[in-house]
Structures are given as structure tokens and as C-alpha cells.
A and B are shown apart, each in its own frame.
Chain A
Amino acid sequence: AQSVTQLDSHVSVSEGTPVLLRCNYSSSYSPSLFWYVQHPNKGLQLLLKYTSAATLVKGINGFEAEFKKSETSFHLTKPSAHMSDAAEYFCVVSGMDSSYKLIFGSGTRLLVRP
């Protein structure tokens, strides 16, 4: 069965400093992995996705993630945090049954200090 574990429930950074949000996955197959962001009172937005092409995936708003099979990790990074990045971030793996349902991690709340 597929699952994801987000290693930090909260991450706090200063504006202009790097962001690292950690995610480990478990999958019997080569997974499809995603990062979604959820701003308060808004729907989920896809940041980026890994679908077995390049292991370094670039997303929107300067975010990127690297798929590391040997470490079963898919950490999300950004070189310089902006105040508008404060939100809840979800690491997601796609189920391998016919629905390709999304299996979410528990989320990491990113706080950005001025």
C-alpha cells in the first residue's frame, strides 16, 4: 500500500531564508508524487508533481522537489521564503488502483517570520 509521512508538523523560517519541507513515501511500485499547498480558506493547489521523468522537479512559485528512490524521499525546497508562502503543505502519493486516488500526508504548516 502507498503512504506518505511528513516529518515535520510545523516549520518556521525567516523571510528570505531557505525552506525545506520533508516527506518520505512508501510504495510497492514506482510512485507518482505530488506537493499541494493549501492557503487558509482556499482550495488545494498543485505545486509540482513527479511522474518518473526527471528526478528534480520544478514547480510554481520557485518551489522544487527531488525524488530520491534510495532514500524514499521527496523533500520540497525553496531557496528564499516569501511571506506569501505561509500555508499548509501536503505531500501526496497517487494510489495504484484504477482510481489513482490521492493519499495525503498529515501536512506541514509553514510559518514565515518577517
Chain B
Amino acid sequence: DAGVTQSPTHLIKTRGQQVTLRCSPKSGHDTVSWYQQALGQGPQFIFQYYEEEERQRGNFPDRFSGHQFPNYSSELNVNALLLGDSALYLCASSSMGLAAYNEQFFGPGTRLTVL
């Protein structure tokens, strides 16, 4: 089992550009959540996808959007990048059927730097 995988590992963009980050969930998981971790802070919830739909969204602007594919993999898109978008972006997978008590498995993250 490869666990949760994310690509790319690192990314450097300039202000105003657009970026797409990718995530493949752990085998058997159907739910993908995205988190942003700024330097020196705890991760913050961006949104969650289940059955190819956004189920919940955190306090992030519409510049942040996502998608889930039929194979449960997911993309995070960020438009009009700002310097403040520089962060580690973490993907977590879980199984919706196990309700609140299931563990969310995290990928290694994508380090985005906006210049």
C-alpha cells in the first residue's frame, strides 16, 4: 500500500500565476481533505471532497478550488497566487463510512513557494 501520495513535492511560482496540486488517496479511502500549513503554524482545513463533490469548505477564498475524480484522486487549484499562499499543502484521505472516529492519513505535502 503506497499510502497517500502527492505531487509535485516542491513548486515555485510567481504572483498572479495559477497552480495545480495532485493527491492520490490511500487504497480503500473515498474522501480527500486538503489543508494549508503556513510556516510555523498548524494545518488549516481548506475543503473536503467526497463522491466528486465539495462537502465542506474552510475559510479560504474562491481562488482555491478543487476536484475529485472517479478514482477518488483529487486536485487542488489556486488561481491568482499571492505571496501569502506560500505554504505546505497537505492532502489527507479517509473513509466516509467510518464517521468521526476514523483516522485521516496524510501525504508528505507539496511545498509551494510564491515569489
On A, residues with C-beta under 8 Å from B are: 32, 34, 36, 41-46, 49, 51, 90, 94-107
Total interface residues in chain B, CB < 8 Å: 27
A49: B residues at CB distance < 8 A: 101, 103
B56 near A98 with CB under 8 A, answer yes
On B, residues with C-beta under 8 Å from A are: 4, 33, 35, 40-45, 48, 55-56, 58, 90, 92, 94, 99-109
- Given contacts A97-B56, A107-B41, A107-B42, are A102 and B92 in contact (CB under 8 A)? yes
B56 near A101 with CB under 8 A, answer yes
Q: Is the interface of B mostly helix, strand, loop or mixed?
A: mixed
Q: Smallest distance from the beta carbon of B47 to chain A beta carbons, Å?
A: 8
- Given contacts A101-B45, A104-B42, A107-B41, are A43 and B106 in contact (CB under 8 A)? yes
B106: A residues at CB distance < 8 A: 36, 43-45
A90 near B42 with CB under 8 A, answer yes
A78 to B103, CA, bound (A): 22
Q: Smallest distance from the beta carbon of A40 to chain B beta carbons, Å?
A: 11
Partner of B90, one of A34, A43, A96, A100: A43
